[in-house]
Structures are given as C-alpha cells and as structure tokens.
Amino acid sequence: MIFAVSDDLSWRVGWTAEGWNLQTGQSVDLEMYFDGSGPYRVTAKATSPRLVLAELAGTTAIFDAFRKGYVLTVRTLGNKYAFNL
C-alpha cells in the first residue's frame, strides 16, 4: 500500500499485488473497511499490470478513518487484503 499527495493537495492511495495482471488504464472497483466498518467504495485505475491508484475524496471522514483505524481491509478482484495502519 502506498500513499501520494499532489502539490494541489489531492491524495491517492495505491495497492500492488504480485498475482495481478491488469491492463494499464483498467478501472478496478474496491471496497475499503476500517476495523470492520464500511464499506468505503472507490474506483482505482491500473497504472501498471500490478499497481492500482485511487483518488480519494478530500473529506475528513476518509482521512480520519485512515488516521484512527488499526486495520484496513480491501476487497477487490475477488480477493481480500488486510493492512495494519
């Protein structure tokens, strides 16, 4: 999992997985759960066969969920991935 903040203060989160074989530009729907709460639904774009990036809304709700959460679970492409925050 990676985070990026642009100079215009927009922010993105990305994920990579060895088993993915995506087409660059492909849209990927994701569901994010913070400590079991959610889902927060986002659409990511594949920037390479194994990397997707999702632009996140500039709201305090999603930022606080990342900041206060302990475990992020992401469901996408028929799989579930867990990340300690």
CB 58 within 8 A of CB 10: yes
Q: pTM of the predicted model, to two decimals?
A: 0.87
**CA-to-CA separations, 35 to 5, 46, 50, 69, in angstroms, rounded:** 24, 26, 26, 6
What's the pLDDT score for residue 58?
75
Question: What pLDDT, on the 0 to 100 scale, is given for residue 60?
Answer: 77
Residue 24: predicted pLDDT: 97
Predicted confidence at residue 23, as pLDDT, reads 97
Q: Which residues contact 50 (CB under 8 A, 6 or more apart)?
A: 16, 17, 18, 20, 21, 22
Of 17, 5, 26, the closest CA to residue 74 belongs to 17
pLDDT of 51 reads 97
**For the chain, what is the largest distance between any 2 Cα atoms, rounded to a whole number of angstroms?**
34
Local mean pLDDT, 10-residue blocks, the chain (85 residues): 86 93 97 95 96 87 90 96 95
